[in-house]
Amino acid sequence: MSDDATARVRAAASELGLDIELRERPAAKSLTEAAELLGLRPADIVKTLVVKRSDDTFLFALVPGDRAISWPKLRAVVGVNKLKLPEPDVALAATGYERGTIVPIGSSTAWPVFADERIRGERIAMGAGAHGYSLFVDADALIEALGATVADISQEISAAPPS
């Protein structure tokens, strides 16, 4: 585990008064396999996506693992006409975390957070800042601690257009 990244996550969670658990996990070949390994439903593994605005600022979108971002819904909530996923090196520079480990807790910049309404009321797993680890947290506590905007920002994966 990257001591720097996990120390940053732990320190930021502590500053936010957020109770988190970092747990080592084996690599998984799919979301379904990862959920089984963690004893969760696929929906309870939340993806933290870094989204770039046209003014070169960013936001975090928290989406259940079994769903995809709905770009029209997210643009409407954010109030912009254009959003996109940045290249991995840009996401790393914006957050201090590599893709696949990104978490809004302890990001090098505290970007605004937009959480899909479906994560409310759940204990969720998400990136932990380092490969091979998951962070467990109460979604409602996370939303409150980060001042996240909660809205319907996702769609079924089968409905997602090809990228």
107 close to 62: Cβ distance less than 8 angstroms: no
Q: What is the pairing mode between strands 58-64 and 46-53?
A: antiparallel
Phi, psi for 33 (deg, rounded to 5): -65, -40
User: Is the whole model's pTM more than 0.85, yes or no?
Assistant: yes
pLDDT tens-digit map of 107-131: 999 999 999 999 999 999 999 999 8
For 56-111, the pLDDT digits (tens) are: 999 999 999 999 999 999 999 999 999 999 999 999 999 999 988 999 999 999 99
Statement: residue 158 has pLDDT above 90: no
Task: Look at residue 18 in the predicted model and tell me its pLDDT.
Answer: 97
Alpha carbon distances (Å) from 112 to 29, 81, 105, 109 = 30, 17, 11, 9
The three-state secondary structure class of 90 is helix
Closest CA relative to residue 104, chosen from 159, 58, 151, 35: 58
Q: What is the 3-state secondary structure (H, E, C) of 19-39?
A: CCEEEECCCCCCHHHHHHHHC
Give dist(CA 20, CA 142) in Å, integer: 9
% of the chain residues with pLDDT over 90: 82
- Superfamily classification of domain 3-159: YbaK/aminoacyl-tRNA synthetase-associated domain (3.90.960.10)
Let me know: does 1 contact 133? Beta carbons within 8 Å: yes
The domain spans of the chain are 3-159
